[in-house]
Amino acid sequence: MGKAVANKLGDYLDSFKTCLKIDSAVKGSVTHELRTHLEDRSQELKETGLSEEEANKAAVEFFGSPRLIAQQIYEVHSQGTWQEAFLAALPHLLVAFLFATYYWQNIFWTSITVIVIACTVIYGWCHNKPLWFFPWLGYYLLPVIVTGALLIYLPQGWTWVAALAYLPLALFTIIYIIKQTASRDWLYVSLMLAPLPVACAWLLALGAGDEFLTANVHLARLQPNIPWIALSFLVLAVATFTFTRVKQRWCKVATLLIPVSIVFASVALAGSRNIGFWGWLVLIISLFVVASPAWLQSRA
Amino acid sequence: MSYERELLKGNTDCLLLSLINSQPTYGYQIVKELQQKSNGYFQFKEGTLYPALHRLEKDNLIKGKWQMLPNGQERRYYYITKNGQQVLARRLATWRDFSTAIRSILQSETA
């Protein structure tokens, strides 16, 4: 009975923590603060003659809905500053810049970009994973995926050997990073993976559908589309900037998924002649991977 | 939403800044003081105080610090910042002007 009474406040705080999707350190501090308040109120009620069970129950009732309070606290902490919003959009701007200036063909500038992304990710990872860090993390995963794709170019026979060795490692890395990101907030998984469907749509639209998977990439098709590629990453930058600045969860979902879906659909439909069955399958899976965490969380 | 609740919502920041300005304090104490000083006029769900406190802290108007009490318990005390004092002074001036204007109109109506 005593344990059940003590658990009344614990259950309330557990429910609050489940609803609150913010940085774990801040969440711990806020929860502790609320616990001290509930304990003070319960103690005061007990001094008026209520039993422990009645006091805890009343303290929780006076306090209000854990879901509503978590939502209001989320709205305070989820809004990034202008600087954070700019930092979050920066990797997309860098990629757009690389394409717009044709620097993507220059190994020096491409290497510099990769190094900047790697260093930023390491810095963000070591500094409690701030909000702006997740779009950078998404680009950090791209080499893992690209390396997997490059295995196709190996001589016949070696592809399977390399894939068997590489795929478990790559999957482990991707799953580990997604798990770490989801532990903070599932919405950040969508934010992190936002470039994936856009990049996939471009790769498949510019390649020759199923032939792309057998290494037949038509680079000549890339040149006239460079401004559009730059523009699509610019749209991602604007979406990320807005995502960081808005407060409500549903607004974050909308500002991220609507632009990504529009860019994705435009590119995929424009290049639909080049996309075969497997290409469409890859595209649908990539969009599903990005949209499902955000969609599920908006309903949670 | 009731009229009283709307009025309270519109003046929450001013009330909180004023209480914290008079002495550093923590959430539960703020609730008690609000109820005592208003003779129970202000009734609200206690948990809704914390989003307001955190918003003020994010706007750099107050600063929260964990402090150990003599009995070994911890409380998060809120201190007003210089920025908070300036904002409070401006809001109090606005409030005085506003209430004077309202009072003068309402008194002439009821006279």
DSSP string covering chain A, please?
A: -HHHHHHHHHHHHHHHHHH--S-HHHHHHHHHHHHHHHHHHHHHHHHTT--HHHHHHHHHHHH--HHHHHHHHHHHHH---HHHHHHHHHHHHHHHHHHHTTGGG-HHHHHHHHHHHHHHHHHHHHTT--TTHHHHHHHHHHHHHHHHHHGGGSPTTHHHHHHHHHHHHHHHHHHHHHHHHHHH-HHHHHHHHTHHHHHHHHHHHHTTGGGGGGT---GGGHHHHHHHHHHHHHHHHHHHHHHHH--SHHHHHHHHHHHHHHHHHHHHHHTGGG--HHHHHHHHHHHHHHHHHHHHHHH-
d(CA B10, CA B15): 10
Q: Which of B31, B46, B75 sits opposite A36 (nearest CB)?
A: B75
Q: Which of B45, B55, B66 sits opposite A63 (nearest CB)?
A: B45
Give me the pLDDT at residue A283, please.
79
Residues of B in contact with A68 (CB under 8 A): 47-48
Residues of A in contact with B27 (CB under 8 A): 33, 36-37
- The angle formed by the CA atoms of residues A211, A287 and A161, to the nearest 5 degrees, is 45
Residues of B in contact with A77 (CB under 8 A): 54, 58
Q: Which of A29, A33, A68 sits opposite B27 (nearest CB)?
A: A33
Those residues with Cβ within 8 angstroms of residue B67's Cβ, 6 or more apart along the chain or in another chain = B74, B75, B76, B77
CATH number of the domain within which B46 lies: 1.10.10.10
Domain that holds residue B16: 3-110
Residues of A in contact with B47 (CB under 8 A): 34, 37, 63-66, 68-69
- A62 to chain B, closest Cα gap in Å: 6
pTM of the entire structure?
0.76
User: In whole numbers, what is the pLDDT of chain A averaged over residues?
Assistant: 83
> Distance between the two ends of chain A, CA-based, in angstroms?
32
Is residue A300 predicted with pLDDT exceeding 80?
A: no
Q: What is the mean pLDDT of residues A85-93?
A: 94
d(CA A132, CA A19): 22
Instruction: Tell me which chain A residue has its CA closest to the CA of residue B51.
Output: A73
Those residues with Cβ within 8 angstroms of residue A162's Cβ, 6 or more apart along the chain or in another chain = A151, A154
Residues of B in contact with A33 (CB under 8 A): 27, 50, 76
Is residue A211 predicted with pLDDT exceeding 60?
A: no
Angle between helices A133-150 and A195-206 (to 10 degrees): 30
Is B84 within 8 Å of B20 (Cβ atoms)? yes
Point out the least confidently predicted range of A152-166, A167-181, A202-216. A202-216
Asked if the interface predicted TM-score (ipTM) of this complex is over 0.90, the answer is no
Confidence of residue A210 (pLDDT cuts 50, 70, 90): very low
Q: What is the mean pLDDT of residues A145-165?
A: 70
Please give the tally of structural domains in chain B: 1
- Is B71 strand, coil or helix? coil
A210 closest CA partner among A143, A261, A281: A281
Chain B contact present for A189, CB below 8 A: no
Chain A contact present for B95, CB below 8 A: no
Chain A contact present for B97, CB below 8 A: no
Return the number of other C-beta atoms located less than 10 Å from residue A54's C-beta. 15
Angle between helices A249-270 and A186-193 (to 10 degrees): 30
Phi, psi of A74 (to 5 degrees): -60, -45
Give me the pLDDT at residue A285, please.
81
Chain A contact present for B36, CB below 8 A: no
Point out the least confidently predicted range of A15-24, A148-157, B34-43, B57-66. A148-157
Domain boundaries, chain A: 2-76, 80-299
Q: Given an 8 Å threshold on Cβ–Cβ distance, is B28 in contact with A36?
A: yes
